[in-house]
Structures are given as structure tokens and as C-alpha cells.
Amino acid sequence: MIDHPSKKTAPTRTVHTADALAWLSQNPSSGGISIITSLPDFSEIQGLTLAEWKTWFKNAAQLCLSSVPDTGVVIFFQTDIKVDGTWIDKGLLCQLAAMETGHELLWHKMVCKVAPGHATYARPGYSRMLCFSKGVRADLRKSTPDVLPLTGDTTWARGMGVEACKAACRFVLEHTHHRTILDPFCGHGTVLAVANALGLDAIGVELGGNRADKARRILLNENGSLEFAPRTPAAQE
């Protein structure tokens, strides 16, 4: 079980080097956790056909949704893909998963990756951010823009940018009592860094050892940019 101390002087961060789906299955949440994550792209899951990846993606989304209590939220940050001249709508896959688990869509934001009016070819010029919950409902008095003009600083092209992470973390702060963010596909750890900067505890899971190491060291500096602290000897999770 995931332990949640009631009060700390500073936000904590733990990064586990593990397979996300196995870790989620073996570590049921005891409450107080919301998820902010990006599920892996078709090109990142080796050995699957496109149809098999779609099934894998939907099952992974369902596991994320089922791992959060009704008082929390799950926020997916996903960029659609183009495969052999066809458009793969990841937002639809997330919503299909949510329909099967009984979660409601609270909001759906578009995050610009390039300025509007510019053509993109290999990948769409925006990402989707979708928020789901069973028990939480959005307070319309605290509404925020449906289109984010910038994703913010990021460590790689597919990463969730700082501004998108801030929007997601602030929703958790303003609409739930949860104070721990879990990213089961944390990559370089931008979600974790932003969560800590906003006073939230953070848990990351990452299969790649080098990426997990970066996720332990990534920081959000005073200028709103990402940087990595120097390596220090530490026990590997």
C-alpha cells in the first residue's frame, strides 16, 4: 500500500524504477493520490501491432483510472499520432476507457505545441489534456482557459511541458483534498518537479533507469525552466 503522511515541512518525491502497469497492480492506493500522466506512444511500445497497441493503451488508461479513489482525478496529457495516413485520436481512447470504468470527463483542454495557423506534418501541432473523476466535479467559478497557448519548457519533444503541468496540478489543489501526485509513466519527471514546486508530494514510476535517474533530479527553477540537480549516491528503487 502507498503510505501518505498527514503533514510534512517540505514536499517529497519518490521515483520507482519499474514497469508502470505491474507497479500499479501491486500498489493499490490508500487514498490521497491523483494521477497526472502521459501514456506511451505506439512507437514506444515494441512488438505490438497498431490494433494491439490501441487495446494496450485503453487497458493502461483503465488501470490508471481504477487506481485513484473517487475523491481524486486522473489527468491524461496525450498527443495524437498519424500512422500510414490515418489519425489516431488518443483522447477518444481515454474516453472509451473512462466510460467502461464509470468515470466522467470534467474538462478537455487543447495545449498548443506550435502557434495556431502553422501546418505540421509528422505530428499534430497540439496535445490534449483530459481530466476524469468519479466523485469530483469542476467548480465553474474556477474555470480556466480551454486552450493553452504554450505547453511550456520541456526536456524532450514528447514531454509534458511546465505550463501544462501547472494547469493540471493547480486543478488538483483547487478541486480535491489530495496532496500527492502519481505519474506512473514519469519519463524525465516534469510532472514531479512541478508538483513539488507547487507544494505537492510526488511519486513517479519509470521503466528506464536513465530516465528514472533524471526524474529524481529534475527541478523547476525560479525562472520557470527545468534543470537537473547533480547526481548524488542514492538507493535505487
- Convert the pLDDT of each residue in 90-142 to its tens digit: 999 999 999 999 999 999 999 998 888 888 887 889 999 999 999 999 999 99
The pLDDT assigned to 93 comes to 98
Reported as a single tens digit per residue, the pLDDT across 212-226 is 999 999 999 999 999
Stretches in the chain below the pLDDT threshold 70: 1-8, 30, 233-237
Residue 169 identity: C
The pLDDT assigned to 233 comes to 66
Sign of CA dihedral 198, 222, 204, 87: positive
Alpha-carbon span 200 to 219, nearest angstrom: 14
> 13-228 — its CATH code?
3.40.50.150
0.85 exceeded by pTM: yes
- Phi, psi (rounded to 5 degrees) for 44: -95, -10
Task: Please state at what angle helix 90-101 crosses helix 50-66, rounded to 10 degrees.
Answer: 50
The structural domains of the chain, with segments of one domain joined by +, span: 13-228
Side-chain-side CA neighbours of residue 147 (13 Å): 8
The pLDDT assigned to 121 comes to 83
The pLDDT assigned to 156 comes to 86
